[in-house]
Amino acid sequence: MQRTYIMVKPDGVQRGLIGKIITRIEERGLKLVALKMYIIPEDVARAHYGEHEGKPFFKSLLDFITSGPSVSMVVEGKEAIKIMRSTVGSTNPQDASPGTLRGDFSLDMGRNIIHASDSIESANREIGIHFSESEIVSFTRIDEQWIYE
């Protein structure tokens, strides 16, 4: 099983979308193995978005992501990264298909409600930034036999 990192950003939290987002993840068949809500400290935000340092939008990105509570999750399942990226939709909500989280719940790239890791390397790095190994649980959901062949 593959793990990926998902974050409901402060705009998604403020708009009361946490439950809808988690419902979509679970209904798709993926499993939550870690979950926490917190206001991301600036040093953690810098580590998370380090690849954008030096870009013109970096400071506003840090200001936004640390502006209020967000929800961090580790999601597990076969091809979890690919499945979550398609569930989330295009980074720019104006390009996101209806039925995706961004296509259904956001309009502006700077307020696109959710982050999903884009590769195994990113997922491992981002999970390590936001969670210790002891915060991630391992268990078998009772319905996994009906989800996977």
Catalytic residues: 115
User: Using CA atoms in the order 128, 38, 87, 48, what is the torsion angle rounded to 10 degrees?
Assistant: -40
Closest CA to 147 of 98, 88, 80: 80
Sheet holding 70-77, edge to edge: 31-38, 70-77, 2-8, 114-116
- Judge whether 89 and 101 are in contact, CB under 8 Å: yes
